Amino acid sequence: MSTKILVPSGVLGLGFDLEALSLGLKRKPDIICIDGGSTDSGPFYLGTGTTKYSFDSCKLEWTHLMQAREQLGVPLVIGSCGTCGTNNMVDWMYSMTTSIAKKLKQNLTIARVYCERSADDLKEALKLNKILPLDPAPVFNQKDIDSFSHIVGLAGAEPFQTALDKGADIVLAGRATDTAIISALPLMKGENPGACWHGAKIAECGAFCSSNPSSGVILLEIDKEGFTVEAMAKNAFCTPHSVSAHMLYENIDPFLLYEPGGSLNVKDAIYSSIDENKVRVTGSVWQPSSSYSIKLEGTKKAGYQTTMLAIIRENRYVTKAQQWAKKLHKLSVEKIVSIMKVSPEKFTIDVRLIGYDATLGKMEKPVNKKPLEVGVLVIITASSQEIATEMSRLLNPYLLHLPLTDKEDLPTFAFPYSPAHTERGAVFEFSLNHIQLLDNPMNGFSLKIDEVNFD
């Protein structure tokens, strides 16, 4: 006996090969699992409770997956709905699902798993010493929690298992670990727990563990001893190297993965080729922890931003751009403080030179060869949009005309568009890198089950 899991791609909205999906369906998987989000695109999405993926792409792909589910009569599961996995994004997926079900005339049991925590929940847990920092952890106190825009707990396997146990055809979960989405069913069926979590980690990005990452579709078969992984696209191959290398991906430690309820150790895992496209893995070990904990994610508003971009083409200014940028920054701060009567700690002006070190900042090496032109990106962050934009107006004449010395004509730099400033709205930062100890794996996760009948 074994459990077969079809993973169509690394995330809903990224696309997958339809032919590979149909080949995967022929293998009669027991479940179809896909991830719906990540923190990888930054704090804005959790900060605002929004998706980074296009609604139309998600809907098209979800339609294919709902048809596939209906065809096989197996559950379809998504975690971290709508990039950030907030409650409203679970409902966003729910409304998409019911609208597709109506069109396809499907009858479904749909489970929603909510993972968001309130400020009061977090305060209470903090009081009970149930919140522990990871390394490095932002520091916060009881009062700071009120400024957090959203707090989510990453669901482990249990909330998915509860939903499946209740007969859900479709599970729409909020924020969850990428692996829990996949490991839930095989764990329920008593497969080897090390293989469940390790297989889930290998398959969580879809075909990233193969020679053709963009093909998407992966079949994972987990049993009592280990797991087998196989790419479904005709031009994608899984090799011991491609599979074991994926364990390193986005993971601090190549051998250890912490999950709710324990950790996965793959130090002694053995990866062997079964044929040119299939890899068998054994020897992965699940080490249950003495207490059950989940990871928390949170964001808070960092201010409102207005940006400006100018381009320097004149050779002398290109050569001395770093010196010029320092002068620009100094004069801008002085002018803003003096005219707007704002103290310097109430705003930030970040001047980045594209062509020098705009990507890597202080880690960048000294520039040997000067670039042809330099982009000057000015990022202003203040307590309101109006203030940030007013600051950009004060700074505008410097960005356009600031000379290197007082003994020369005013230069004029290129502004690529008008208006020169761009309002970016509210910006956010991650405010938590903590775990929460739970007495019960379902604490803080709530389930809503609906029957929809459109046939």
Note the residues at the interface with another protein (CB under 8 A): 39-44, 134-136, 138, 241, 244-245, 248-255, 302-303, 348, 350, 352, 358-365, 379, 381, 427-430, 433
Query: In this structure, are strands 278-282 and 226-231 parallel, antiparallel, or unpaired?
Result: antiparallel
Pick the closer one to another protein by CB: 47 or 193: 47
- Taking the least distance from each CB to another protein, the nearer of 26 and 365 is 365
In the complex, the smallest distance separating the C-beta of residue 127 from another protein, rounded to whole angstroms, is 25
Min separation Cβ 406 and another protein, Å: 31
Q: Which is nearer to another protein, 97 or 177 (CB)?
A: 177
DSSP 3-state of 152: strand
Work out how close the CB of 401 gets to another protein at its nearest, in angstroms, rounded to a whole number. 27
Tokens matching residue 292: 């059950």
- Taking the C-alpha atoms of residue 316 and residue 256, their distance in angstroms, rounded to an integer, is 52
List Cβ neighbours of 379 (8 Å cut-off, separation of 6 or more): 305, 307, 348, 349, 350, 352
Peptide bond into 133 cis (omega under 30): no
Q: How many CB atoms lie under 10 A from the CB of residue 454?
A: 13
Minimal distance, residue 215 CB to another protein, in Å: 19
181 φ, ψ (degrees, to nearest 5): -55, -40
**What whole-number distance in Å separates Cα of residue 125 and Cα of residue 333?**
42
Of the two residues 134 and 274, which places its CB atom closer to another protein in the complex? Answer: 134
411's tokens: 């230069």
Shortest CB 298 distance to another protein, Å: 11
> CB-wise, 13 or 186, nearer to another protein?
13
Residue 250 C-beta: closest distance to another protein, Å: 5
Q: In terms of CB distance, is 187 or 309 closer to another protein?
A: 309
Could you give the CA distance from residue 149 to residue 358 in angstroms, rounded to a whole number?
A: 29
Report the residue number, 322 or 433, with the smaller CB distance to another protein. 433
Cα dihedral 184, 188, 194, 195, rounded to 10, equals -80
Of 331 and 427, nearer to another protein (C-beta) is 427
Shortest reach from residue 380's CB to another protein, in Å? 10
Beta strands in 193-347 (DSSP E): 218-222, 226-231, 256-259, 262-265, 270-275, 278-282, 285-288, 292-312
Quote the least distance from Cβ 285 to another protein, whole Å: 17
Instruction: Give SS3 for 360.
Output: coil
Calculate the alpha carbon distances from 381 to 109, 308, 345, 348, 391 in Å. 46, 12, 11, 5, 9
Between residues 104 and 245, which has the closer beta carbon with respect to another protein? 245
- What is the rounded distance in angstroms from the CA atom of residue 181 to the CA atom of residue 164? 11
Nearest distance, CB of residue 404 and another protein, angstroms: 25
